Structure 1
Amino acid sequence: MTEPAPSQPAFVLVRPQMGENIGAAARAMWNFGLDRMRLVAPRDGWPNPAAGAMASGAGRLLDQAGLFDDLGGAIADCTYVMATTARTRGLTKPVFSPQHAMAEAAARIARGERVAVLFGPERAGLENEDVARANTLISVPVNPEFPSLNLAQCVLLCAYDWRRVTAEVVAERVDMAGADWAELAEIERLADHYEERLEAAGFFFPEDKVARMKTNLRNLWSRMPLTRADVRMLHGVMRQMVRWSGRG
């Protein structure tokens, strides 16, 4: 019976050199919910204590990582392969941005395909022989005068874009910290309080500008996203100011 296709791509580190970078890559993957790591001929052997120390909570990925002698074995079960690169290769291939690449990976995986993403060794990246095995290239839009990315940084960028295209990401939110938004009636009472006290203090002047000043003040309150705690505090500020002014 054929094993069901996985729900995420395999990230394949090809001939990685430093254990620390393997550990950092594992940590970056797990930050964004990816846990299918494969290693091809790591320079310093495997397992590597430096990788575990750097993984910082993502050690499970290292324990479960597939270990292969060559790239062919690492991608033998895949139907679609993407290769990260920071330089031109003289090979005719589609070139995707990381976000588009991860969207393509997600679509193919949803259709039951097995996708791998290749990351080259730290010194010079993937060799052309590695890239020739890939269906598509992934190119990060970096500074052309300094295109070199650390291995774990490149993994992080792709993992982040995988998360962006497969998870519901809220563009903006407000953490209420246990507070509730103030209702309109509460804001109206606050506006009345300030208007009454400011009028008593002679703030609204000259006469021909009073109506406009009051309108602007009301508009100010309506623009402010106030919680009930904010409203209570602002009432308290005005009451305290009135008490202090009466001592003069």
Structure 2
Amino acid sequence: MTGRDGGADLAPIGNSPVVILVRPQLADNIGAVARAMGNGGLFHLRLVAPRDGWPQEKAWRNASGADRILDNLTIHDTVAEAVADLHRVVATCPRPRHIVKPLLTARGAAAELRVICARDLRAGILFGPERAGLDNDDMACADTLVRYPLNPGFMSLNLSQAVMVMAYEWWTADDVTLPRRLMTNETAVATKGELDNFLGHLVAELDACGFLRNKPKRPGMVRNIRHLFERGEVTVQELRTLHGIVTELALGRRQRGRTEKDGDAAAD
């Protein structure tokens, strides 16, 4: 193993699965795998019989700072050796095989791996060589197979992409980020009271300028205006801006009114 200066401080977070690359062919891909692992909170990497040996400088150049993962990986001669200390192993399987084993999606596998790791059991994920994937002997070392539900007309992933899919699912299986939220930065979502205050201001000025002069239609028009602003999460800052707009429009209308009166008086 070869240490490198710099790089991100990728310290392991809890008990996470080991990523096992079986007979990887390109150092560039190994580096890209380390990068994908760091993104998804996977920190333990093992290589089984890398084609060009190890270490390979290109791997660190492609890792984009995930040096610690590469610095601490281990090399193994066989799959059986690489999984010997693990309790559960899943194997990615992009092609149909004549094997009877449970088959999971990446999301399903991530959920199961979370349960396994929460029990303080050690788990691993097998990924095959870039060109052919895992063979039947490799998959015989796994308990479960994983196949990604991708476009059946084009299911071509490179090695780091395949690892990224599992890393993403592993991370999001325990992530509490809301699926949708409003970025408000330094402001906040306005309360109903603040919104009602603005609508009162707006309607008063609409009455004053004559926009709501049709008395029979006025209640429906006011409701429609309210619905417009109630549909979304208006922020406090946006309400301040709208208050300013309404105030300036009203000020301009009053100034025009005074000018017209002055003109009429001069004409008299």
**Structure 1 position 108 matched with structure 2 position 108:** no
Which consecutive unaligned segments of at least 5 residues does structure 2 have? 1-13, 260-268
TM-score (structure 1 length as normaliser): 0.91
Hey, what does 1:34 align to over in structure 2? Answer: 42
Cα separation, 1, equivalents of 2:43 and 2:196 = 53
Post-superposition shift, 1:242? 2.8
2:216 aligned counterpart, secondary structure: helix
Whether contact under 8 Å (2:207, 2:213) holds in the other structure is no
Hey, what does 1:184 align to over in structure 2? Answer: 192
1:118 aligned counterpart, secondary structure: strand
Q: Kindly report the root-mean-square deviation, in angstroms, between the aligned alpha carbons of the 2 structures.
A: 1.7
Hey, what does 1:79 align to over in structure 2? Answer: 87
Cα separation, 2, equivalents of 1:215 and 1:229 = 23
2:116 aligned counterpart, secondary structure: helix
Whether contact under 8 Å (2:104, 2:144) holds in the other structure is yes
TM-score (structure 2 length as normaliser): 0.85
1:127-206 to 2 correspondences below 5 Å = 127-206=135-214
Hey, what does 1:20 align to over in structure 2? Answer: 28
Instruction: From the CA coordinates, give the structure whose radius of gyration is larger.
Output: 2
Cα separation, 2, equivalents of 1:202 and 1:38 = 75
Post-superposition shift, 1:111? 2.3
- Kindly tell me the number of residue pairs found equivalent between the two proteins: 243
- Overall identity of the aligned pairs, in %: 41
Cα separation, 2, equivalents of 1:173 and 1:221 = 18
Q: Which amino acid aligns with 1:14?
A: V
Post-superposition shift, 1:222? 2.9
Post-superposition shift, 1:171? 1.7
Which consecutive unaligned segments of at least 5 residues does structure 1 have? 1-5
Post-superposition shift, 1:228? 1.8
1:37 aligned counterpart, secondary structure: strand
Whether contact under 8 Å (2:93, 2:147) holds in the other structure is yes
Cα separation, 2, equivalents of 1:53 and 1:25 = 12
Hey, what does 1:11 align to over in structure 2? Answer: 19
Post-superposition shift, 1:47? 1.1
Q: Which amino acid aligns with 2:91?
A: A
Post-superposition shift, 1:205? 4.5
